[in-house]
Amino acid sequence: MKGLFYHFCPGGDIGHGVHLFRLAESLKIFSKNRLKITLLRDADAVYPPDRRWKCGPFIPLASGLARNKLKRQKVLLSALCASKPEFLLTAYFPFGRTACAGEIVPVLKLAKSSGIKIYASVPMPYFSHSEKNIKDLFDFAGLYDRIFIHSPAGFDLKYMAAAVPFEKRITSRRFLEVFRALKTKLCFTGYVMPPLPRIPPKGKAGRFILIHRGGGSTSPDIITCAILAKELLKSGLPMTVVAGPASSDAEMRSWRALIKNRGIKGVTLLMKTENLFGLLAGSAVSAGTAGGTAYEVLYLNKKTVLIPFKGFPGAEHSDQLARAAMLKELAGAAVLDYDSLTPEILARELDLSLLHPAPAFEPDPGAFNGAEVFAAEVLGASLRRS
């Protein structure tokens, strides 16, 4: 069996790549290594690193879609024709990353005419289209056999719908109508966790405070405030700070200098880690943005302080606001506003969180079987074809 994964990531994002690698590993496990997957993604994607792709060939796509569109499309078409896959999967598109439509839609049409199954991996029930271009979403979605939404049914969607008016592009009502209209194509898989075996240390006391900001392309004040908050904390626990792989050299130098010049003790500063899940599992409390890491916090039943990224004026984002609202309601997460964040506020919330008991939230274990549900659907479809 063969498959193709397409990942358009012009900003070098982290979350979508992590999902794809986990999904591929699940397919590998459940197919008993009989499935070979070719990954095509932007050459400048930084995480997960290329060397961690163990499921088949890796083909980098030339950086810069605008100037290399025809070159990239030729590579995509060549890979499709050469590998003759049972399925082609796109990351986030058609729900977002629509700048890639020009290069990927012709490939999707060729795949569809060749009888190849077409899937999408969407990390959350959220799309980036405004009300005026919803038709584009439906047109693109018409090419797909299945669109996998990697959250449990009944969890994120209502929070995403409640938060999306913040972006001033679509109403909550219309947002939900789109999901109802596409329901026959959608599969809510549950959250995608690291591959089995995984045993969350529920109730186990953590040994340190963990600070993170996702991929590291936004929210630098979280790192600065956390370093300064270490001097103010009543807790004597050490602090591990993961700035994110997209952090610049200048940022890292400034934070190292801050630690050194103020003589701050007990802070370990990392640009990146290949085991953030493990760090979350071992932490007493974490603080950071409300990206996909929030689902791992929920799975591990950990105390957390969330500081959601909400974009910029004219380019607002509501997905982290929705995720933060959900974790606050379901698991008692503390939620802080990034614009008013100070070391004093962060230190106070971390100390309060350490005093509180562990979250009592106990969801159905199936809520976290997203990779397994996805693999069963894809492999089942491939077996039915053969």
| Cα–Cα distance measured from residue 192 to residue 298, given in angstroms and rounded to the nearest whole number | 12
From 73, 74, 107, select the one nearest 89 (Cα to Cα).
107
Q: Which long-range contacts (CB under 8 A, 24 or more apart) does 129-135 make?
A: 129/98, 129/169, 129/170, 130/169, 130/170, 131/169, 131/170, 131/171, 131/174, 134/170, 134/174, 134/178
Q: Three-class SS of residue 210?
A: strand
The per-residue DSSP string of 325-341 comes to HHHHHHH--EE--GGG-
| Cα–Cα distance measured from residue 312 to residue 309, given in angstroms and rounded to the nearest whole number | 9
**Alpha carbon distances (Å) from 281 to 84, 198, 203, 205, 297:** 41, 11, 11, 10, 8
Task: Copy the structure tokens of residue 351.
Answer: 């100390």
Q: Three-class SS of residue 374?
A: helix
What's the CA angle centered on 9, arms 317 and 18, to 5 degrees?
Answer: 85
Amino acid, res. 135: K
For the chain, list the domains and their CATH numbers: 2-190+369-385 (3.40.50.2000), 208-363 (3.40.50.2000)
Amino acid, res. 302: K
From 315, 288, 292, select the one nearest 304 (Cα to Cα).
288
For residue 67, count other CB atoms closer than 10 A to its CB. Answer: 10
| Cα–Cα distance measured from residue 10 to residue 315, given in angstroms and rounded to the nearest whole number | 17
Task: Copy the structure tokens of residue 336.
Answer: 């802080």
| Cα–Cα distance measured from residue 276 to residue 269, given in angstroms and rounded to the nearest whole number | 13
CA dihedral sign of residues 190, 194, 200, 205 = negative
| Cα–Cα distance measured from residue 375 to residue 37, given in angstroms and rounded to the nearest whole number | 13
| Cα–Cα distance measured from residue 368 to residue 137, given in angstroms and rounded to the nearest whole number | 27
CA end-to-end span of the chain: 10
Task: Copy the structure tokens of residue 51.
Answer: 């060397």
Question: Residues for the chain: how many in total?
Answer: 386
pLDDT tens digits for the chain (386 residues)? 899 999 998 866 677 888 999 999 999 999 998 999 999 999 888 788 888 999 999 999 998 877 888 899 999 999 999 999 999 999 999 999 999 999 999 999 999 999 999 999 999 999 999 999 999 999 999 999 999 999 999 899 999 999 999 999 999 999 999 999 999 999 999 999 987 555 555 546 689 999 999 888 899 999 999 999 999 999 999 999 999 988 999 999 999 999 999 999 999 999 999 889 999 999 999 999 999 999 999 998 899 999 999 999 889 999 999 999 999 999 999 999 999 999 999 999 999 999 998 887 887 878 999 999 999 999 987 655 55
